[in-house]
Homo-oligomer: A and B are copies of this chain.
């Protein structure tokens, strides 16, 4: 039984982690961390947990937690995990960081896009980028795992096979992404009020969103050379779900069959990536509550471009589900344990 502590358990991702770990046969939550709600019962913050979780919220004492837990999940704002982690802690416990602190290998890129100084750059090197389908082997041995962002998970998995196989021109990638509102977090801000989000769609963080360098770094690795791209997120009036619509120019002569073969090559053995039948567009409702990413593509011979599409649940495969998948790998458990969730529809 893996003893898990959660720092930041009262955000939407933290609460989803609780939901998943409660249903995981080999995990046990030993610490519900939440600075904002210390001493409040967890179910008073999330009424769905009534009669399921009786524990009280604790502070974010990572030292103490490292004595009690086998793994610590940090579902906290940028900077916190980097400020708390140290060699002593890492020698006692594995850390799965859901923030961006250890995702980007080049610390100057991190500091530029996030606008904060990195508090423990010495650990960036050993941190493993936890995109299971790409880095499975390294993940198994990681002490410090950087859990990918929601937009990035969906974007990378949607585009990866075509970049890796050299089927598209890596300088032409444009990602237009749409997210449900849980991605904006649970803090009380006017722009996230019901009446502000409902009956509205807007772009935000245009040409400046922090997930851009993370996507670029991973796709550059796949391409074998640096690339830059456009990434535009949008806020959609729904609770969960990310849809990625990505565009790129096809390399000369690439056929639909070759593209499909590329997706098949990388994903046919992957439980959590579903390559849809030809002509079917991914929809967020069909992955809701599950750890799936649904992907597909359509080519446009008129323009010579391919439109790649991916859908995932931002709180599951985009956050808590992938964190559990990483935990499974790191502790030698079956990768899908606790994650065989049938999507909830409608």
Give the interface segment out of A82-90, A148-156, A301-309. A301-309
Binds B, one of A65-73, A160-168, A286-294, A322-330: A286-294
Total identical chains: 4
Answer yes or no: A1 CB below 8 A from chain B CBs.
no
A195 near B346 with CB under 8 A, answer: yes
Q: Which of A219-257 contact B (CB under 8 A)?
A: 228-230, 232, 234, 236-241, 243, 245, 247
Asked whether A46 and B345 contact (CB < 8 A) given A188-B189, A234-B245, A247-B174, the answer is yes
B204 touches A281 (CB 8 A): yes
Contacts of A197 in B (CB 8 A): 194
CB-CB under 8 A for A207 and B289, given A238-B199, A245-B234: no
Contact check, A300 vs B199: say whether CB atoms are below 8 A apart: no
The size of the chain A interface, using a CB distance under 8 A, is 84
Residues in B with CB closer than 8 Å to A302 are 207, 228
**Which chain B residues border A276 with CB–CB below 8 Å?**
47, 50
| Closest B residue, CB atoms, query A15 | B345
- A238, B46: Cα distance in complex, Å: 20
Residues of A within 8 A of B (CB): 12, 15, 19, 22-23, 46-52, 174, 176, 178, 180-182, 184, 186-190, 192-204, 206-207, 228-230, 232, 234, 236-241, 243, 245, 247, 274, 276-277, 280-290, 294, 298-300, 302-303, 305, 307, 309, 311, 340-346
A selection of 8 A-B contacts at a CB cut-off of 8 Å is A46-B286, A47-B283, A181-B194, A201-B283, A202-B284, A230-B247, A234-B243, A344-B344
